[in-house]
Amino acid sequence: MKSYITAIIIAVAIIIAGFGIGRAYNYKFKTRNTVSVVGSAEHNFSADLIVWSGAFTRTSMDMKEAYASLKNDEQQVRSYLTTRGIEDKEVIFSSIAIDKLFNSTFDENGRQTGNVFTGYQLRQTVKIESKSMEKVEKISREITELLQSGIELSSQPPLYYYTKLSDLKIDLLAKASADAHNRAETTAKNAKSSLGKLRRASMGVFQITGQYSNEDYSYGGSFNTSSKNKTASITVRLEYELE
């Protein structure tokens, strides 16, 4: 009787083990019975918004004198921009930043002995945000003419943006998804199979680089602002079941 019970237990164990192996085999088979593809899309476009900024400073031992000179510079800069077709709503002047300047003094052994006050430096920035590309580009190159008027002004290179970026991203996402689907269909057809349901979908990094440039893609996504003409690209990964 004991031997009979032992035989039954062994038989049940074999059946359970076989069932487990069968399920593992089926699971393994199902996980392999998929196709994963990456689709991509890109689009060349031109920026529609230009941003330029510059800064001007005044330095004096008398802060009131420096302030008066800086406000006069602001009026000259504003007038310069107006005569070149820039509207007031496109121009932003910052608040005035004030710094105290010091020169260090040293003894004959090179050890610092103190600081000597050399004056106040007042600084203000001006920024243009406009859709008039060529007009602002010309200003960014020529505004240093104000140096001849005694204005200590520095000009920064223009930055270029695109105001319809969200729409562009959605359009590229749709095209990249369609490209991935076509690749999956081609793969399945060549494998004498057909596509089943979509199992997974993930979006890659959205990249904006200068058109025809050698810029490297960034893991977190590049966002070029130095080029007027740009290229936007995106990737999509899709995984389908095969039938």
Q: Based on the domain organization, do 132 and 207 belong to the same domain?
A: no
CA angle in degrees (0–180, nearest 5) for 14-17-20: 150
From 131, 158, 185, give the residue that closes a domain. 158
Please tell me the predicted confidence (pLDDT) of residue 14.
Answer: 54
- Do 56 and 150 lie in one domain? The reply is yes
Tens of pLDDT, residues 21-68: 556 555 554 455 889 999 999 999 999 999 999 999 999 999 999 999
Mind listing the pLDDT tens digit for each residue in 78-93? 999 999 999 999 999 9
CATH number at residue 114: 3.30.70.2970
The chain-wide mean pLDDT, for the chain, equals 88
Give CA–CA dist 136/48, Å, rounded.
Answer: 12
Helix/strand/coil percent split, the chain, to 5: 40, 40, 20
Same domain assignment for residues 140 and 169:
no
Domain boundary among 138, 158, 178: 158
Residue 238, beta-bridge partner list = 37, 201
Phi/psi of residue 128, each to 5°? -115, 130
The torsion angle over the Cα atoms of residues 186, 191, 196 and 202, rounded to 10 degrees, is -60
What pLDDT, on the 0 to 100 scale, is given for residue 109? 87
Could you read off the pLDDT of 149-198 as tens digits, one per residue?
Answer: 899 999 999 999 999 999 999 999 999 999 999 999 999 998 888 899 99
pLDDT mean over 100-115:
91
In a shared domain, residues 117 and 70: yes
139 and 169 assigned to the same domain: no
Question: Which pLDDT does position 20 carry in this prediction?
Answer: 56
Residue 182 sits in the same domain as residue 121:
no
CB atoms within 10 A of CB 235: 20
Q: For residues 37 and 138, what is the distance between their CA atoms, to the nearest angstrom?
A: 47
Same domain, 214 and 233: yes
Whether residue 198 contacts residue 6, with contact meaning beta carbons closer than 8 Å, is answered with no
What's the sign of the alpha-carbon dihedral 73, 77, 82, 83? positive
pLDDT at residue 170, as a whole number: 95
Q: What confidence score (pLDDT) does residue 107 get?
A: 86
Assess if residue 16 is contained within a domain. Answer: no
Of 133, 158, 183, the last residue of a domain is 158
Asked if residue 181 and residue 141 are part of one domain, the reply reads no
What's residue 91's pLDDT? 97
pLDDT in the model for residue 138: 96
Based on the number of CB atoms within 10 Å of its own CB, is 153 exposed (0-12), middle (13-18) or buried (19 or more)? Answer: buried
Q: In which domain, by residue range, is 171 found?
A: 33-46+164-242
Give strand ranges (E) for the chain: 34-46, 49-60, 91-93, 97-106, 112-130, 152-155, 159-161, 195-203, 207-210, 229-242
Whether residue 226 is predicted with pLDDT greater than 60 in this model: the reply is: yes
Q: How much is the pLDDT for 218? A: 76
Distance CA 12, CA 64 (A): 98
**13 part of a folded domain:** no
- Say what the pLDDT of residue 54 is: 97
Domain count, the chain: 2
Residue 135 lies in a domain: yes
